[in-house]
Structure 1
Amino acid sequence: MSAKIYRPAKTAMQSGKAKTHLWVLEFDQEKPKTIDSLTGYTGSSEMKQQVRLNFESCELAKAYAERHGIAYRVIEPKEATRKNVSYTDNFRFNRMQPWTH
């Protein structure tokens, strides 16, 4: 039984950072998923795939995994590096890029 510990990224469908401060422990898939021949749906008999445990910090998630004998790997979050740009910069007189429509 192994698991991954990570902090989820902000989804593309929201502008806020809701649910991105918690750390998540998810179990890895042990058996391959099967395709139902009648309906074509993909399914699995693993119940651990449905379990997601949330923790306030990475250390708490690691401690839980060690206490219960779960092998884990930590995936560090990537910090966003976005350049803050003002709308008025589009109309500056000393703009470096030409204004084209």
Structure 2
Amino acid sequence: MSTARIYQRPKNAMQSGRARTDRWVLEFDPAEQQQADPLTGWAGSGDTRAQLRLNFPTLEAAQDYAARENIAYHVVPAPQRKLKLQAYADNFR
């Protein structure tokens, strides 16, 4: 039986917008360790589920899918947003 984690995508650090942060993602845990390829030196494995990432509109939809497909899962709670309230005049102190 495979295991997966369900989490909410965090805000992109390179942009100010919060697009697609309301979506929930189901991502499978790695089933085997990655190994260096002897020819190229790139890391890889034969685990094709590591390439799979499923998006859901709600947490309940992701949990229903995992239950229906007999996938053991754990939910990673989204970190709390910390607002840094600052006035424009504070730049000149």
Whether TM exceeds 0.5 here: the answer is yes
Mapping 1:18-33, distance limit 5 Å: 18-33=19-34
Q: Which runs of 5+ in 2 are unaligned?
A: none
CA distance in 2 between counterparts of 1:42 and 1:31 reads 12
Structure 1 residue ranges without an equivalent (≥5): 92-98
- The size of the alignment, in residue pairs, is 92
Match of residue 73 from structure 1: 74
| 2:68 is aligned with 1:88 | no
Q: Pairwise mapping of residues 1-101 of structure 1 onto structure 2 (< 5 A)?
A: 1-90=2-91, 99=93
Give the CA deviation at 1:83. Answer: 2.7
Describe the SS at the equivalent of 1:85.
coil
Deviation at 1:90? 4.4
Structure 1 segments (4+ residues) deviating >4 Å: none
Given the two structures, how large is their TM-score scaled by the length of structure 2? 0.91
Q: CA RMSD in A?
A: 1.2
Cα 1:88–1:29, aligned 2, differ >3 Å: closer, same or farther? same
TM-score, L = length of structure 1 = 0.84
